[in-house]
Amino acid sequence: MQEEIDIEVEKGTNEYLTIYLDEELTYRQVQRAVRTKDRWIRLQRRRFRGTTNCVDVQIISRGLWGGYHRGKIIVDTENEYSEYIINLTVNPKRKSSIWA
């Protein structure tokens, strides 16, 4: 399965999203099965007891140039192989007005 996620952020800000998995995983399984090579995508693997069927994701625009970026999150478990393509648009930072 491949799913594309479109995100638009202002330069220097972060965006958070949650990916819901088809199956529940233990903490160790999540550590091995969910990965990315993109430095601006951070997987938030919280410590928990029992099982979970979601992974929190943080998109970090700090350090990225403005424009379009494309990244990938891979979920590879015994029963599921999925790719989540992140289409990120980084907009210039808005100047604040003293008259607003």
What distance in Å separates the CA atoms of residue 90 and residue 12, rounded to the nearest whole number?
9
Q: Is residue 85 part of a domain?
A: yes
Q: Looking at the 3D structure of the chain, how many domains does it have?
A: 1
Q: Is residue 78 part of a domain?
A: yes
Which whole number is the average pLDDT over 23-46? 83
Q: What is the pLDDT of residue 26?
A: 78
Confidence category of residue 5, pLDDT binned at 50, 70, 90 = very high
Q: Is residue 99 part of a domain?
A: no
Q: Is residue 96 part of a domain?
A: no
Give me the phi and psi of 76, to 5 degrees please.
-130, 95
Write out pLDDT tens, residues 38-95.
999 999 866 556 677 888 899 999 999 999 999 999 988 877 789 999 999 999 987 7
Bridge partner list, 10: 91
Tell me the pTM.
0.81
Confidence category of residue 29, pLDDT binned at 50, 70, 90 = confident
Residue 11 maps to which CATH number?
2.60.40.10
Coil, strand or helix at 90? strand
Q: Is residue 97 part of a domain?
A: no
Q: What is the pLDDT of residue 28?
A: 75
- Domain around 24: 2-91
